[in-house]
Amino acid sequence: MNKTAQSGKKPILKNDQERMRIMLDAVPLCATLWDANLNRIDCNQEAVSLFGLSSRQEYLDRFFELSPANQPDGSPSRESAAAYIRQAFDTGRVRFEWIHQKLDGTPIPAEITLVRVEYDNGYLVTGYTRDLRELKAMEAETKKASERMRIMLDSVPLSFTLWDAGFNRIDCNQEAVSLFELSSKQEYIDRFFELSPEYQPDGRPSREKAIEMLSRTVETGRERFEWMRQKLNGDAIPSEITLVRVDKEDGYVIAGYTRDLREIKHTVSRLNRMEQLAFTDAVTGISNRYHFMENAKKVLLSLSATRTISIMMIDLDHFKSVNDTYGHVIGDSILKAVAKKIQYTLRDTDNVARYGGEEFIVIVEHDSRDTIIRLAERIRQEIHEAIFQCQEEDISVTISIGVAIQRNPSQTLEGLIARADYALYQAKANGRNRIEFAKDHDFSGPI
């Protein structure tokens, strides 16, 4: 060494110098030795290697060229370095981040630790420089990965929530904020349980059920279910929730995706309404002719060997006079009331429809002729005894019924209807308010 401390202390002896040299060179960090007058008095070989220099002397001589003129906070490097060294002499230890550079200007982010060392009758400060380039590169990569993840999450067109292993909400995406019309992600996280009604449609408390579904996801790895959510103003948001357990080195997190079903629910409701309109008679509210024929064909195809199908054709007697006397509005009201009476009298397995005008058709699955006789008579009697009140008028009507029983498995639905319609014609011809059974001369034995 060609410099000595200028503090008036004893000079460093040769054997002391050798021991210090060994210690400095053994340290795997850039090391610099400062005296009480803030003079650089030594360094180790690692310092020479870190900055790509030719010798220790070059390091000592050009030390302040190994830092930019100013640190990132704007402070002059030379002044800040002196202040930190004085602080180390006063307090014994200082640690801080610093930007060094090579002589060509290549930055070297570093962590500096200054340690006051008692030596002879005074003190020295040893400065250790930890190269943070690799760490900073990793942090930058992690930050970049985090930014990429954030971009991915915010680009997902689904509301996203992240839960930790303790079921604490730790993150969300921008879509979650937008869906519920909130001011920030933090508001979403803080007010999460206000974004569901107190109870779900099945009657379960939302908070209790949410914890249960998160627990199930931990066990199964993935759960999907429907859930009712809401805005802070109470507007309902029917949703489909998908929870996924995401395993990581130190445990797992749970990712929750919310799919807004409002548009789908509206579309399904509209389609159901359109289907109802397509299959329902507008006046009576029961099935129309088309819907009846489609269902009846399916019943006929699925019929078991021990069961029989019958068709009843039902027509209101003298209904033209009702329309002529009271008008079509009253007539439609009576048609609707008669349809309800027939529907109420039938069993759940039977099916009635308006066939056209004042005519109704019924398909009945039964196991004996007596069953269809009793059912047809009950319908006739219910209508015969009913009094229909329309605009303070008491109106009575009767019906005629024609019945055709399927006696041959090859009998078509159209053929069966034709036979029942002929039997209805016979009931009308024989005085009305009665039941007639079709006779099919192609088959022997009683009908």
List, by residue number, the catalytic residues: 358
| Contact yes or no for 397/383 (Cβ under 8 A) | yes
What per-residue string of b and e applies to 321-339 under the rule 16 or more CB within 10 Å gives b?
ebbeebeeebbebbbbbbb
| Contact yes or no for 123/36 (Cβ under 8 A) | yes
Rounded to an integer, what distance in angstroms lies between the CA atom of residue 301 and that of residue 165? 56
Residue 154: other Cβ atoms inside 10 A? 15
Phi-psi map region of 224: left, alpha, beta (phi>0 left; psi -120 to 50 alpha): beta
| CA distances to 169, 206, 221, 230, 284 from 211, in Å | 12, 9, 15, 18, 48
Residue 230: other Cβ atoms inside 10 A? 17
How many residues does this entry show for the chain? Answer: 447
Rounded to an integer, what distance in angstroms lies between the CA atom of residue 29 and that of residue 45? 9
> What phi and psi, each to the nearest 5 degrees, are found at residue 263?
-65, -40
Q: Can you read off the two tokens belonging to residue 6?
A: 């200028």
Rounded to an integer, what distance in angstroms lies between the CA atom of residue 99 and that of residue 125? 20
Q: Can you read off the two tokens belonging to residue 178?
A: 């937008």
Helix, strand, or coil (residue 303)? coil
Helix, strand, or coil (residue 176)? helix
What is the torsion angle, in degrees rounded to the nearest 10, for the CA atoms of residue 44, residue 49, residue 55 and residue 57? -50
Q: Can you read off the two tokens belonging to residue 352?
A: 């009635």
